Amino acid sequence: MAGHNKSVRVLAIDPGSRISGFGIIDIVSNDCRLVASGLIALGTDESLSRRLCTLRNDLTEVIKRYAPHEAAVESIFFSKNAQSALVLGHARGVVLTVIEDAGLPLFEYSPALIKQNISGSGRATKNSIAEMVKILLKLPRKFEWKGSDQSDALAIALAHAQIRRWNKHDRTSSRSPSSEGTQPFDH
């Protein structure tokens, strides 16, 4: 049974124009293990183009350092503030480009689907998601988040792991209730 417990390393990114969160987990059988997580801070006093370069460079280094097998990101959501959505779109474009350059399969999930898979509710709060991430990764109760972007990225990674498991076990259905957005993003 060689290879039965082969792990899959997943990189998840919560892109932002000021701060981007990343989370890396190993999926081994039905277990998820934290490898690394953190924030990529994009200088608030810098131009948008400089911040995007920082995001590109730092994310490229994260990929080189941790060598993930797959990547997951939150799909586009609609914002009431068009300017914020446009700037976020730039950051997301950089993330997608870095993932493509690294040759990683990319999976995208809606915010509601991520919340549903982590907490059981598509309307869960950021605090409840952060607490569920701690539980699912067996982190110490007093684990301190550097910011919500960090816990959000790990939530994306965990949702990917759960949906991946679901799809692996449910080969009879081409579209299970929790398989929305599980196809690799078509570049």
Burial 98-123 (b: 16+ CB within 10 A, else e): bbeebebebbbbbbebbbbbbbeeee
Active site residue 149: yes
Q: Which two tokens stand for residue 94?
A: 């950089």
Strands 19-28 and 106-109: unpaired
Among 58, 74, 108, 152, the active-site one is: 74
* Phi, psi of 48, rounded to the nearest 5 degrees: -60, -45
Active site residue 26: no
Among 58, 70, 108, 149, the active-site one is: 149
Classify 120 in phi/psi space as left (phi over 0), alpha (psi -120 to 50) or beta.
Answer: left
Active site residue 46: no
Among 14, 70, 108, 152, the active-site one is: 14
**Alpha carbon 167 to chain centroid, angstroms:** 18
Catalytic residues: 14, 74, 149
